[in-house]
Amino acid sequence: MTGRFIVEADGGSRGNPGPAAYGAIVRDPETGEVLAERSEAIGVASNNVAEYRGLIAGLTAAAELDPAAEIEVRLDSKLIVEQMSGRWKVKHPDMLALVRQAFAAYEPTLVTYTWVPREQNKAADRLVNAALDGPGAPRAGVAARTAPRPEQGVSAPAEPADGDQASRTMLRIAGWEQQDPPTRQLLLRHGATPHTADRRFSGMGGEDPGLSDEGREQARRAAEALVDRGVEVIVASPMRRTRQTAETVAVALGLEIEWDEGFVEASFGAWEGLTFGQVMERTPDDLQAWLSSTAVAPPGGESLNAVTVRVRRARDRLLARHGGRRVLTVSHVTPINTLVRLAIDAPASSVYRMRVLPCALSAVEWYADGAASLSAYNDDAHLR
């Protein structure tokens, strides 16, 4: 796989509402090769419902190929492009449910949406009509082409997102409006290890070193600093250094620990145990490719896109179990920086420009409506 896909999707209804179907294609962006196709007649539905069903089918097919690839979705529906990009509101409850399904089908931060003229979406449109004309397809006495989209040729005003959970763009200041208390996630990086001073790649699948004497002292000081922070739950990566750090804190706070492998450090594959300088000397092209694209993984390792997928899922599990509570998450550099950049809607590559020190604390608030805010980052005052 290329680490990138193009998804072309369409849907149509002969009658609006009327007999409806969708079509979706996943392509290799370099060669144009069709990697997957999906189409289905869905009974009586509107154009918009059929188009969203096509989008969901395309994203689902892409996820089956590679859930960490970057995707460009090409649609001839201006409405869906603007709604999925968070620029137009989603008002109808039935449509909002479909938008949520689309967001759940694929990691949203890896997807971009592009409007294309209808003539550039003919392949997906052919799948729609084939599904409508196939054996067993619903009939309504109308044998015309897919009905025109009602939004085509209409200059609809761009409406800002209004806080729908389906919107990724929250055009307001998080925390200023009266609402239910957020889930406050305190993020604690583990203490120093023998690899820390040399700045060696030390991820999942490597040596998994434990804390050094310095790291154990850092964990003790972090535990003291957290006694009065109101922590109700501890969730931690099960790697050795995070386990040791979390256990030190748990004893001080009198809490149990939940282990979640979604918060483990990235896998650096063949670079495990090496310094940045050693990697630059031995495999400069691989290193440059990794730094140039979040879809590229170290040889035998894990890309930043893949880390984003599992960290976001781990975060969602945490929010489902402990919504509205104050949760301490003991983790590593890459997962912590990924959570921070998700909270502030920064690009995946921003993690290369973020530095979190051993046993430093950060804090993110996650709101029930999908908004988030960053209230602390890399606070190591308790160590000085």
Active site residues: 190, 265
**How far is C-alpha 187 from the chain's CA centre?**
18
Q: Report the half-sphere exposure of 121 (CA within 13 A, side-chain side).
A: 28
CA 98-102-108 angle, to 5 degrees, is: 145
Read off the tokens for 76. 């001839």
* Burial class of residue 93 (count of CB atoms within 10 Å of its CB; 0-12, 13-18, 19+): exposed
Question: Which one, of 297, 76, 99, lies nearest residue 201 by Cα?
Answer: 297
Tokens 């539905």: give the residue.
45
* Burial class of residue 346 (count of CB atoms within 10 Å of its CB; 0-12, 13-18, 19+): middle
Task: Give Cα separations from 220 to 229, 247, 249, 359, 382 (angstroms).
Answer: 15, 10, 7, 10, 10
What contacts 18, CB < 8 A, 6 or more positions away? 44, 140, 142, 147
Distance in angstroms (rounded) separating the CA atoms of residues 138 and 146? 14
> Which DSSP helix (H) or strand (E) runs through 225?
helix 213-226
CA 131-137-138 angle, to 5 degrees, is: 125
Instruction: Tell me how crowded residue 285 is: count the other CB atoms within 10 A of its CB.
Output: 7
Q: Helix or strand or coil: residue 330?
A: strand
Q: Report the half-sphere exposure of 244 (CA within 13 A, side-chain side).
A: 20
**Pairing, β 257-259 against β 34-45:** unpaired
Read off the tokens for 198. 């040399």
Distance in angstroms (rounded) separating the CA atoms of residues 21 and 138? 9
